[in-house]
Structure 1
Amino acid sequence: MEYIMKQLTGFSFHYGWVIVALAALSQFFSGPGQTYSNSIFINYYIDDFGWSRSTVSGIYSAATLLAGFLLFFIGRLIDRNGSRKMAVIVSIALAVACLFNSFVTSLVMLFIGFFFIRLLGQGSMALISNALIPQWFIKKRGRALSIAAVGGLISSAAFPLLNVWLIETFGWRMSWLLLGILIIALFTPLAFFLIRNSPEDIGLKPDNGDGGKQEEKSPGTEEVSWTVKEAAKTRSFWLLLLCAGIPGIVNTGLTFHLVSIFAEKSLSLEAAASILSLTALIGLPVTFAAGMLLEKVKVQYMLILVFAGELLSLFLLQKADFLAAALVFGVVWGISMGMERIVMAVVWPNYFGRKHIGSISGISMAMIVTGSALGPLPLGIAFDVFGGYQEILWVLMSFPVVGIISAKLAHPPVKKVDAANSEETSDSVFPEVPTINTDQAPSATS
Structure 2
Amino acid sequence: MNIPYKWRILFTCSTVEFANAATAMVVLAVFIDPMTLTLNWSRTSISGAVAIGSVIGACMAPVTGQINDRYGPRGMLIISTVLVSVSCIVLSYVQTSVILGVALIVFRICDQGATKVLTASSVGKAFSENRGFAVSMVFLAGSLGCVIVAPGAQFIITIFSWREAWLCLGCLMFLGGTIPTIILLKSRNKNGLNNLSTGTDLTKPSAAFNRQELITAFKSVSFVYILISLFLTGMASSGVILHLMSYLVSAGFSESVSVSVLSVIAISSAVGSILWGKLADRFNVKWVCVATYVTLVLAIGIVIFPYNITFLYLMGLALGLAGVGVNTLSALLLANYYGTNILASIYGLSRTAQVMGFALGILFSGVVYDRTGAYQTAFSILLLLSVIGLLALLLAKKPKVF
With the shorter chain as reference, the TM-score category is 0.7 to 0.9
- The corresponding residue for 1:293 is 279
Displacement of 1:386: 7.7
- The corresponding residue for 1:235 is 221
Distance 2:299 2:172 in 1: 38
- Whether 1:130 and 2:120 are equivalent positions in the alignment is yes
- Greater Cα radius of gyration, structure 1 or 2: 1
Q: Which AA in structure 1 matches 2:59? A: F
Whether the 8 Å CA contact 1:98–1:179 is kept in 2: the answer is: yes
Q: Describe how 1:8-407 pairs up with structure 2 within 5 A.
A: 14-39=4-29, 42=32, 46=36, 49-101=39-91, 104-163=94-153, 179-196=169-186, 204=195, 227-259=213-245, 270-318=256-304, 320-379=306-365, 393-407=379-393
Distance 2:277 2:375 in 1: 34
Whether the 8 Å CA contact 1:266–1:321 is kept in 2: the answer is: no
Q: Which AA in structure 2 matches 1:22? A: T
- Is the deviation greater in 97-106 or in 250-259? 97-106
Distance 1:230 1:82 in 2: 23
Deviation per CA, 1:109-143: give whole Å up to 9, x if none. 22221111111135422221012101211231110
From the superposition, tell whether residues 306 and 170 of structure 1 become closer, same or farther in structure 2 (CA, over 3 Å): closer
Whether the 8 Å CA contact 1:72–1:362 is kept in 2: the answer is: yes
Q: Whose RCO is larger (CA < 8 A, sep 6+)?
A: 2
Displacement of 1:61: 2.9
Distance 2:250 2:29 in 1: 23
Structure with greater proportional helix content: 2
Q: Which AA in structure 2 matches 1:245? A: F
Deviation per CA, 1:387-423: give whole Å up to 9, x if none. 866665554343233223222221222337xxxxxxx
Q: Which AA in structure 1 matches 2:276? A: A
SS of alignment partner, residue 204 of structure 1:
coil
Distance 1:181 1:412 in 2: 43
Deviation per CA, 1:182-228: give whole Å up to 9, x if none. 54455334223322579x9675366x7999xxxxxxxxx99997744
Q: Describe how 1:415-430 pairs up with structure 2 within 5 A.
A: 415=401
Distance 2:253 2:32 in 1: 25
Distance 1:46 1:256 in 2: 14
SS of alignment partner, residue 301 of structure 1:
helix
- Is the deviation greater in 284-293 or in 14-23? 14-23
- Is the deviation greater in 106-115 or in 392-401? 392-401
- Is the deviation greater in 371-380 or in 388-397? 388-397
Whether the 8 Å CA contact 2:85–2:171 is kept in 1: the answer is: yes
| RMSD across aligned positions (CA) | 3.8
Displacement of 1:21: 1.3
Distance 2:375 2:29 in 1: 24
Whether the 8 Å CA contact 1:224–1:352 is kept in 2: the answer is: no
- The corresponding residue for 1:10 is none
Displacement of 1:145: 0.9
Displacement of 1:168: 7.7
TM-score by length of 1: 0.74
Q: Which AA in structure 1 matches 2:195? A: L
Q: Which runs of 5+ in 2 are unaligned?
A: none
TM-score by length of 2: 0.81
Distance 2:244 2:267 in 1: 17
Distance 1:299 1:197 in 2: 32
From the superposition, tell whether residues 18 and 241 of structure 1 become closer, same or farther in structure 2 (CA, over 3 Å): same
Displacement of 1:92: 3.1
Distance 1:344 1:35 in 2: 19
Distance 2:401 2:209 in 1: 8
Displacement of 1:24: 0.6
Distance 2:343 2:126 in 1: 12
Distance 1:178 1:324 in 2: 32
Q: Which AA in structure 1 matches 2:223? A: F
Whether the 8 Å CA contact 2:15–2:180 is kept in 1: the answer is: no
- The corresponding residue for 1:439 is none
- Is the deviation greater in 265-274 or in 13-22? 265-274
Displacement of 1:367: 2.1
Whether the 8 Å CA contact 2:69–2:192 is kept in 1: the answer is: no
Distance 1:283 1:241 in 2: 22
Q: Which AA in structure 2 matches 1:112? A: V
- Is the deviation greater in 161-170 or in 341-350? 161-170
Distance 2:48 2:113 in 1: 19
